[in-house]
């Protein structure tokens, strides 16, 4: 797979079911337009039809009403001023029932099927009146004032509108200006009330606090304010949530909780030691998407806990369930997104989304091993292209994330460029449970994880019988921390390095990152004011003077997670120490450049990486 093949791939998401009919969102790159095209694909009677996106419009997030009589979706009209609309479809009739200049974050159908509840993020009321918003000074009383992928947030508020699907009449039922709601996440109708998760600034003004809020006839009632929630849902007459009941328990596995009227929580997957990604329900059952040892799998909740449905080496990204009819989107290490139907006897592929891509483009198979490092057992993957070819060690971000049995464009592109590729899930990764996740906290940061990564790298080199000693190392975010840490503490092991969107200095990260207050304490287990020496000891900048190998730094100008000053500090240190180095700055991009940045920037990023490693690995 070459970088020029990126726009030949289609990714699938947002699958919904109506009896045996399916609808989903298909997304592909356009290098010509330097944009993403999103369209709706429907499946009925074993045939697929496309409701195509255009240069000026995207279609996404399709949903069926509970009675299955209506289909709805978001229409994004692109131009100088983007407009977003909610569209309903009954039979062949389309109605655009709601329009906004703001950003539609989410929407749900009412249980009565007569209304749609829509979450919209827009300028704060007073700020909206200002004509030249880009020239207005920021008066701040709270942190963070900006958030990665969302931009400036202190002057944004989120609202909920209730829209009549027949008349199109809308009423603002939750006023984000009045309630000071910075953002709204999940929403669900339960027991004749609307429940939402919303972010507000805490009393100290130091971080965002996520609350579960109940809308009553008297107003809004906060029933829980300590957690971190990904989703609310209603099942068997009870309100449920996926997440953590205490945000400062992070890092740990997310779980499923029952939540009562008072906000008290009861964990219902008590003995399930894996990270829950999503939950969906049928009339009778609860189905769970979870991470496990590099896989992302589906389970079913039973009286004995979560029972795995099947154990394929795949990554399931989304699924839909109705009356025990189960369909899902999945990919594997060598195959990109497709749709599958699951029955108790078999898994049937029902789409041909990327068949033409795989006929034209070669992909590389993998070797998988769970290596024993003496202190842990680590899931490790390797792509072999030649024993005398250079080898790249890739380190994932997070650290609470995982590599695995998924179609990852980066590995395929590097292999096609002539590099052996090695990657792993060291301690600190998801997919292996609570203890594994927490085994990098405090003084273990930069110790246990580094031990695992370097140990399995050496073992996989031997396993693949690689003879070349031309080793390169690279990683982004936490992977960038690990890369810069390793080349500063093991300066002779690698010959080329790429440090991307990295955490370089905990001390300045505290004041500049959108998660600068909270995240450091969760991992270092102490506050900077109490133990500044720990923050310095665990920062790669403290060891930058030891770096000797050629190092390329990649960073986005609008990265608010690991701000660009982190990369600038490392670049400055390398230049002062006369290390061969360069820095690439991507304008108008954030922390997610490699995954959702502008297509041309994503292609250019690959070109910089490949050129640098080819130059320095003979």
CA 502 to CA 198: how far, in whole Å?
Answer: 29
pLDDT tens profile 518-574: 999 999 999 999 999 999 999 999 999 999 999 999 999 999 999 999 999 999 999
DSSP 265-302: EEES-TT--S-EEEEEE-SS-EEEEEEETTEEEEEEEE
- Contact predicate 397/475, CB 8 Å: yes
Flag whether pLDDT at 52 surpasses 80.
no
Would you place residue 53 in the very low, low, confident or very high pLDDT band (cuts 50, 70, 90)?
Answer: low
Q: What is the dihedral angle through the alpha carbons of 154, 155, 160, 164, rounded to the nearest 10 degrees?
A: -160
Flag whether pLDDT at 185 surpasses 70.
yes
- The whole-number pLDDT of residue 564 equals 98
Which residue is associated with the tokens 């008349």?
Answer: 167
pLDDT tens profile 454-463: 999 999 999 9
pLDDT tens profile 60-114: 999 999 999 999 999 999 877 889 999 999 988 999 999 999 999 999 999 999 9
Q: Where are the domains positioned within the chain?
A: 364-616
In CATH terms, the fold of domain 364-616 is: Rossmann fold (3.40.50)
Give the CA angle between residues 418, 592, 369 to the nearest 5°.
Answer: 45
- The whole-number pLDDT of residue 336 equals 98
Cα dihedral across residues 514, 517, 521, 522: positive or negative: negative
Judged by DSSP in three states, 223 sits in strand
The continuous run of DSSP H or E covering 334 comes out as none
For residue 172, the Cα-to-chain-centroid distance in whole angstroms is 30
Region of poorest pLDDT, from 114-118, 238-242, 309-313, 377-381: 309-313
Flag whether pLDDT at 20 surpasses 90.
no
Flag whether pLDDT at 220 surpasses 80.
yes
Using a 10 angstrom Cβ sphere, with 0-12 exposed, 13-18 middle and 19 or more buried, the burial of residue 85 is: middle
Which residue is associated with the tokens 């180095």?
Answer: 581
| Burial call 369-399: b when 16+ CB within 10 Å, e when fewer | bebebeebbbbbbbbbbeeebbbbbbbbbbb
- The whole-number pLDDT of residue 398 equals 96
């Amino acid at each position: 797979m070459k970088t020029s093949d990126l726009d030949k791939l289609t990714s699938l998401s947002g699958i919904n079911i109506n009896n045996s009919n399916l609808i989903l969102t298909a997304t592909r790159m356009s290098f010509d337009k330097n944009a993403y095209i999103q369209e709706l694909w429907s499946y009925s009677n074993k045939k697929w039809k496309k409701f195509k996106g255009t240069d000026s419009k995207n279609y996404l997030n399709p949903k069926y009403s509970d009675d299955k009589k209506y289909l709805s979706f978001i229409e994004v009209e692109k131009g100088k001023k983007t407009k977003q609309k909610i569209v309903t479809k009954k039979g062949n009739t389309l109605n655009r029932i709601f329009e906004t200049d703001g950003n539609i974050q989410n929407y749900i159908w009412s249980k009565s099927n007569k209304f749609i509840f829509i979450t919209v993020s827009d300028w704060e009321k007073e700020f909206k009146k200002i004509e030249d918003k880009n020239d207005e000074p920021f008066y701040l009383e709270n942190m963070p004032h900006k958030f990665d992928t969302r931009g400036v947030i202190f002057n944004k508020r989120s609202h909920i509108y209730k829209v009549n699907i027949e008349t199109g009449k809308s009423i603002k039922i939750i006023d984000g200006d009045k309630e000071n709601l910075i953002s709204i996440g999940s929403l669900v109708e339960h027991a004749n009330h609307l429940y939402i998760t919303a972010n507000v600034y805490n009393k100290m003004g130091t971080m965002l606090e996520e609350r579960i809020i109940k809308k009553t006839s008297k107003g809004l009632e906060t029933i829980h304010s300590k957690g971190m929630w990904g989703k609310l849902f209603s099942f068997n007459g009870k309100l449920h949530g996926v997440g953590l009941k205490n945000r400062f328990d992070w890092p740990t596995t997310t779980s499923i909780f029952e939540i009562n009227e008072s906000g008290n929580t009861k964990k219902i997957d008590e003995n399930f030691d894996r990270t829950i990604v999503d939950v969906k329900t049928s009339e009778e059952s609860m189905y769970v998407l979870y991470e496990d040892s590099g896989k992302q799998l589906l389970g079913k909740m039973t009286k004995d806990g979560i029972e795995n449905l099947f154990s394929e080496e795949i990554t399931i990204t989304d699924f839909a369930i109705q009356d025990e009819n189960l369909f899902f989107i999945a990919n594997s290490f060598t195959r990109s997104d497709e749709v599958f139907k699951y029955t108790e006897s078999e898994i049937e592929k029902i789409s041909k989304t990327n068949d033409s891509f795989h006929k034209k483009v070669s992909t590389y198979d993998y070797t998988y091993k769970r290596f024993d490092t003496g202190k842990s057992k680590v899931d490790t993957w390797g792509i072999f292209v030649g024993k005398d070819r250079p080898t790249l060690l890739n380190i994932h971000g997070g650290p609470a994330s995982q590599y695995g049995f998924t179609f990852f464009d980066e590995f395929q592109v590097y292999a096609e460029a002539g590099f052996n590729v090695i990657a792993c899930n060291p301690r600190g990764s998801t997919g292996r449970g609570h203890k594994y996740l927490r085994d990098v906290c405090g003084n273990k940061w930069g110790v246990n994880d580094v031990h695992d990564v370097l140990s399995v790298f050496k073992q996989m080199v031997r396993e693949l019988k690689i003879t070349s000693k031309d080793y390169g190392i690279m990683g982004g975010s936490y992977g960038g921390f690990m890369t810069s840490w390793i080349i500063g503490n093991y300066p002779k092991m690698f010959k080329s390095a790429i440090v991307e969107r990295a955490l370089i200095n905990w001390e300045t990260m505290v004041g500049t990152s959108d998660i600068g207050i909270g995240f450091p304490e969760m991992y270092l287990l102490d506050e900077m004011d109490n133990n500044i020496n720990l923050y310095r000891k665990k920062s790669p900048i403290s060891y930058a003077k030891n770096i000797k190998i050629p190092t390329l730094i990649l960073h986005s100008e609008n990265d608010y997670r690991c701000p660009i000053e982190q990369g600038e500090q490392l670049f400055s240190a390398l230049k002062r120490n006369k290390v061969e180095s360069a820095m690439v700055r991507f304008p108008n991009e954030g922390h997610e450049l490699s995954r959702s940045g502008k297509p041309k920037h994503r292609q250019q990023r690959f070109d910089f990486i490949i050129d640098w490693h080819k130059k320095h690995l003979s």
